[in-house]
Structure formats: structure tokens, C-alpha cells
Structure 1
């Protein structure tokens, strides 16, 4: 699938290795499918890689249909035998093409577009291969780069490293790029004579160094650290949230307490939005200019028009579209609802599977009864209607334009335009009976 033109001037293919089970995650979910910023980490990586590479090939393990669906429409290669990273990359060799090929890892989802562009940029004469490196605070079990001056001689995996080599602070970040013809040849020459009995992708570095120079670009641990455990996943989420918050504020969004706001990778906040503390954005949220989201609100899969007010303690669920200048207040939940310009649902209401016109007010405690236990049904409310407090609308139902519905009504039939609807029992007063009943209850309590 063709992407944006590569920075090299010729075709560059990305091979993303995603066959790992992630045993340290202790999960039935493949490692690459664990979410960051509300989306699977492999999707986060692919969306950025698509801005750099001409083609993307994903190598998965057997029975990883969920990954295959997630990365569509990009090509999938199955590694039926998990025999190491070199073996995984070799499975895609027939798809390398004739330009350059870069190998990326699904568990390195925070790499930035600029760093990927540096990785695949034209290499100086004599440089056979370029790779990414970092100096993590805790080098742990990362492979170590053995260098001579500015050139890499080889990479030693932690399991095979000597004590002196383990003391090296410059670590392999995993990602590398070379000419497709060279990469294919190096991969075919790999052996598995090592502590783990696997084909290491890192062994191509020593082969490349034997034919020319191997250069490295040093990046930050924040964007190059791998995600192999739940703790590392949480650390990556912290890093991503910091990046997303900083980007939002740079674009003219006010985050009153940034550290308490959680964004999804695809959250779109327009200029002059104000986000109060403890707001969570699930996937698929779009806010227009000047939207004010008050504290402790949760938004997911919704679009909010300019100058609207949301919350506090509001929940907007997928399929909700609010036009400009709408008000959604405290303890209000909207699901799959179209709310017209200037309309208000301000207090303690549930509105689901509904279309509401412009300038309509939904009173406190009102609900649409949209589910009969099997099917969902639609409620339609016109323009400039006034729905009194504690109204129950039993769908399917239509309430017309400029209608007035009395508080406490239970609507089971349509209301025509401009009508006044009352659907409740008539109030009956029994003189003196209230005191009699209270006295009787108190006497009963004294006897018990």
C-alpha cells in the first residue's frame, strides 16, 4: 500500500516484527495488542510508520488473527516457528523489494516519526547499515553495542555478553535499516550458535561491519524503550500521555491539571478548549473550538461542536454528536444521540438512541427507555421542545417541535408539534389521612 513519499528518494519497506507472545505480560492477549493511548500498541506504531514508509509488512505468529485484523490493510507474514528475531525478519525477505528495508518492533511503539525519518535517511558512502541506540537508566537485559570510534562492530546479546560487555551503557534499541539486497543476504547467512539457540537479527550488524561501516543514531529511552511487561506498559503509557498533553497545550488547549487528564492517541482537541481536572478521553473524540469540559467527565467516540459545555461528571458514549453551543451537565449520560444546536441536557439524565433538535431543553432526571430487552428503539424530539423534569420517554416515540411535556410524565405515544402533554395520574388529596397513617405506623412500631 503506497504511503507518503519516503525521505530517501527510493522505496523503503518497513518490516514490523509482531510474533512475540509477551510471556512477561502474563496475558492471553498478544503483546502487540495491549493498548497504549486507547489503541493497540502495534496500531500506534503503524499509524506513525505509514507517514514514513512506502510499504509496511507485519510478521505475526500463528493464530494471531486479532493482530492481522488490527493492522489491515497491510500485508501479513506468518512466522510458524518462533526461532528468533532474525528468523522472523527472514520470513519477510521475499517482500523486501529493491530499495531499503527497515526492521521495527511492535513492542517499541513510542518511536517518533522524526526518528524513523533519520533511520531511513540516505546513508553516507561506506555505511552499510544504520541502527538506533539508547542509554537507558537501567540497561538490564538489552543487547550492548560494541563500538570502535563512531562505528558499531557488533551487538552482543545480554545472554551471551561478558561482564565487561554488560558494563557497556550504549544499548541496542532493535531498529535498523539497510539496502534490501544486503539485508536479505545477511539474514540468509545467520546461524543459531548462541545461548538461546535462536537466529538473532542483531548478528547482521557484525556481517555489515565486515563489509563496511555500521552507523548508529542515539535516541532517548522515552521513545525507544521496549514494552515487555505490565510495568513497562504503564511506563510507556505515562510517556505517551506526557507527549499527548504537551502537544495539546502547544496547539492552544488549556489543561487545568495536565497530569490528571488522560487522552487517547486519536483525541482531537481544537483551539481554546478548556479541560478541567480528572477528565478521560477514550478513542474517537473530537472537540470543536472553545469547548469546556468540566471535571470528572468521560468522553468516548463522540463529536462536540464549538463552544459547548460538558460536565462535570458527564459521560458521553460512542455515536454521540453534539452540535455547537450545547450543554451537557452533571451526571448526564448520552449514547448514540444527536443533539441539536443550543440544546441542553443539564442534570441527572440518560438519553440513548435519540435525535434531539435545536434549542430543546431536557429536564432533570429524564430518560429515554430505548431498550426492550432484545432491541434498541429510537426517540426523536423536535426543535425548541421543553421536556419537564423526571420525564420517561418509552421508545420508539416522537415528540414534536415546540412541545411542552409536563414534569413526571411517562410518554408512550407520540406528541404532535406544539402540543402540551401530560402523562401521569391526577393528584388526589385525602384530608387528615396523612397524620392518621403516620400515627398508625408509630403505634405499630411501639408494639413490635
Structure 2
């Protein structure tokens, strides 16, 4: 079992280390595990069979945690960890819930053993040597409560060498979240410090549209090499997005909206929206299509908005709740037109279809804002950031959308428009 430390909460379980034929140890993300029983683990999906390599900040329970000394916070002495129990939290994560510890022996007999006791993580603390340098996992734990955008800003405040060092200590999914919040130059710099296998793993955890933007900034040779190392399904989505021009709906969209059949119920739709790893903009509406239910889907039928679902009983079929007034856009629709649609109809997302009316993705409001804002907007101070966000909202509300070359349909726009994927 592999865990990562957090500042105050119990260590979070990120996955299991399993051995496959050939004596190779591979990593199994905890999110893929559906059942753990006596002598068996049931998982969903395919297992990445790359040889497991431990990252900084990750702690192996059996090899590193068992045997560690802990002190009871109530002052009753110390003990050593002999076993741990894990439990699923309300947020869908797995974390260490209990420790089985043994106190020091009190008898003189060489065969005597200390008393054992169950305790929680919050009732003990690990011992450390006075003056000892902060360990990798403790360093990462100090950042555990930060949102990805705040952690990205924290890393960018560090000296360049230290930023790369700390970024390399983050887990793959955490680093992926942070990279999505960084300027492209910093993304490329951090990715350059990672080995190809690690870089591919991080790209696998990124949203496909963000991964596509990042790969487009790399030299063509390395970008293609990383695509070959990525999980086939993830790489396919990224290649698909790279095939569209950056200033079109196809270039802005994400290929992972919530997609269901017309027979799905309100209860099923709300359960999908409750996923803790789902971006709020993607959870605002559900796409209804004919099979298959992965982009590109069968024929697109419509969208059902979150608020509309709340007004109907759990057994109501989503096919009866479609928003008949919302028309999808095609993949070659301009970014300006997509922006006007979002602003005109007070939407946070708009569906994108191909020539056969199959759903290929959705464009969300954050995709559009990221496109409209200047390249260096993440580097501005707080006041500049607020002003630029306000300017972007004004552009959306008035339909004054910047186009390449610094022009819009109402005249020149100072500073031009943001260029995605290295084009202008």
C-alpha cells in the first residue's frame, strides 16, 4: 500500500503495489479498486504494467511505516506501529483510519511483549530527531491543504531549482493538477526535468485539453514520444484534440463530459455529478446521447442541466428533461461564436458535435476564459488579475471577442488575444 502524508489529516492512500507474473511490481491506483477481500483485489479498467517507481512524498506502508515510533498526544508514552487500517471517506478518498500499535514491554523476561492498542492518527505523532531536516513527505504535507492554483503560485515563488525539486516530489495526480494552473513556460520547464516515463504518467492524469496544450509546446519529437508512452485511451483523446485549430470549439473543448443514455434517471445523473474529482463546470449539465457513451458518441440528443434535475423526482428519465432550446456547436465553430453563445444564454458549458451530430466534447466557461486572457495573466499581481478577469467578463457580456491580430468585431483590442498551442 502506498500513502502520502498530509499536514493535519491522516495519510491518504493513493494506491497499491501489486506483483504480476515475472516478479514485476506495478502500481494500482486506489480509484481502480472496487473490492478488497481475503486474498483478492477486484479492479476496473486496465493496469499500467510499467515497473513501479516510488516518487518523493510517497510512503510504502509495509516497508516504511510499520515499525515507526509514535508518541501519544496525551503524554502516556510511545509505541511502535505494527499495522494500519484504511477506510473510505465521504469525499471518495481512502485514508488511514486506525493504527495498531505496541507499547514498550514492561517485564524483564526476554520473551515479554508490550501491550497493544488501537489508536487513531490524530491521537499520536511520529517522533523525529531534533534538528533533523524536513523529510520529503513532511515537506509535501505542508502543501497538502492548498488548492492546485495556490500551490502553483507557491511553487512559482520558489527559486527555479527548488521549484523543480519540489514539483518532482509531488505525486503524479497532484503534479498534474498543479501543471494545469501554471503558465506554459513553467509547465514545459518542469516537464523537462522529468524522465519520459514519469512525464507520460503525469500527462495521463491531466485533463485531455490541458495535456494537448502542453504537448503542443514541446519539441515535436518529444511530444510524439510522450504520446507513445501515455495510456492508449488518454493519448487518443490528446491526439484527437491536437487535430483541431486552437481558436475553434474543437481546440477549446474537453472530451470527458458526463454522458448518459435517455433512460438514465435523475438519481443516476445526480450520483455522477457528485463525483469529487469532477470539475464544477462539467457537473453543471449532463449530456444525453445514443450509444456508445464515450466521445465520439452516438447521435447527440441534448443536455439536462443540474438545476432542472433538482426539480424532478429521482425516478424521472433524463430523456424527458432535455433542454430543447440549446443547440450544439460544431467542432469548427470559432472561439468568438462559442463565447457569445455562453454569454447570451447564461451557460457554463456548450456541447460540441461533429458532422454526423455525434457528441465529441463540451466547451466550458473556464476553457473560454483561459483562451481570452493574455498569456501572462497567471504572472500578474492580485490587482492586475482582478482587472483582467473583469475585462474578460466584460468581453463575454458585450460580445466584444478578441480575434487574432488584436482586432475584434467592434474594433481594435489592446494586447490582442491569447494564443493556445503556440499559434497566433
Shorter-chain TM band: under 0.3
TM-score by length of 2: 0.27
Higher percent of residues as helix: 2
Q: Which has the higher Rg, Structure 1 or Structure 2?
A: 1
TM-score calculated relative to the size of structure 1? 0.26
Q: Whose RCO is larger (CA < 8 A, sep 6+)?
A: 2
Give the number of the structure whose residues are more often strand, by fraction.
1
